[in-house]
Amino acid sequence: MDSMSDATSAISPDLHEKIRRRAEEIYFHSGQVPGRDVENWTQAEREILVEAEKPKSHTAIVVKINGVRYLCEYQPELANGYVPGEFPVGSSVSVRLQGDKILVKRANGTELETRIVRKSH
């Protein structure tokens, strides 16, 4: 087995699929040049693996419900375009509690899903 096969066999199916999709994007964006499969795959693999190794960024939001303050975090890449400051400090927002999550209703009708990190009175 060569080193490229060894590396590929250690990749999860989800990561493999991300690499495959990125290689396909590279193929289409570079003019669909035939015979560049290995180069496209190598570039895609490098990009996706570098991204996968980065620590996932989580951002915090504080929600106060009935006098209890919840420090919650959300993943920006899953936040549907939410940007910090969208909810002015002290503003009233609709929320749903769901296990260890608080879903905050946004002005555009979507919900910002957060995970409760800490609760204080």
pLDDT tens, residue by residue, 69-97: 999 999 888 888 888 888 888 889 999 99
Give the number of other Cβ atoms within 10 Å of residue 101's Cβ.
14
Please tell me which residue, 85 or 43, carries the higher pLDDT value: 43
Q: Coil, strand, or helix at residue 62?
A: strand
Cα–Cα–Cα angle for 73, 70, 83, nearest 5°?
40
Residue 11 phi, psi (nearest 5): -90, 135
Q: Is pLDDT above 60 for 1?
A: no
- Looking at the DSSP bridge assignments, the partners of residue 97 are 102
Question: How do 59-65 and 101-105 pair as beta strands?
Answer: unpaired
Judge whether residue 50 has pLDDT over 90: no
Backbone dihedral region of 109: left (phi > 0), alpha (psi from -120 to 50 degrees) or beta?
Answer: left
- Percent pLDDT > 90 in the chain is 59
pLDDT score of 30 more than 50? yes
CA-based nearest residue to 102, from 93, 56, 87: 93
Q: Is the pLDDT of residue 2 over 70?
A: no
Per-residue pLDDT, averaged over 2-17, amounts to 65
